[in-house]
Amino acid sequence: QVQLAESGGGSVQAGGSLRLSCATVSGYTGSSACMGWYRQAPGKEREDVATIANDGFTAYGEPVKGRFTISKDNTENTLYLQMNSLKPEDTAMYFCAAFFPPPTPPGGSCWTSPYNYWGQGTQVTVSS
């Protein structure tokens, strides 16, 4: 099985930065096929933020392109989301997710893949 634990959320003023982390504990051999960050604000649907494939290919949602960077450290089994130039509309609960087993997800795309493991989330609040 897989356990995901997010950290790094908090409150920041607009224009500031935060770095989210997602520690992964997995019983599978090898890294995930895909990992991603998602967010959900109160009263809104869940929104895709960024994904990263086993081969390092990344994809971003339009609202965060150029401001957020997803990365992973396979040695430490940790996923990151560097968030710069934060805006009040970035306020949400942020979740990390993973699809196991490797090497590829259903359909071949991490952006459209279903994810079978989710963390509990970390709150990000951006004030104007």
**pLDDT band of 102, cuts 50, 70, 90:** confident
Find, among 14, 18, 15, 22, the residue nearest to 97 by Cα.
Answer: 22
Average pLDDT in the 4-23 region?
97
* pLDDT at residue 37, as a whole number: 98
Helices (H) and strands (E) in the chain, counts: 0, 11
With 90 as the cut, is the pLDDT of residue 35 above it?
yes
* pLDDT at residue 77, as a whole number: 86
Buried b (16+ CB within 10 A) or exposed e, 91-119: bbbbbbbbbbeeebbeeeebbebebebeb
Distances (CA, A) of 52 to 13, 34, 68: 27, 6, 13
With 80 as the cut, is the pLDDT of residue 88 above it?
yes
First to last CA, the chain: 41
Average pLDDT in the 92-111 region?
92
Report yes or no: 38 and 97 within 8 Å, Cβ to Cβ. yes
Percent residues over pLDDT 70 in the chain: 100
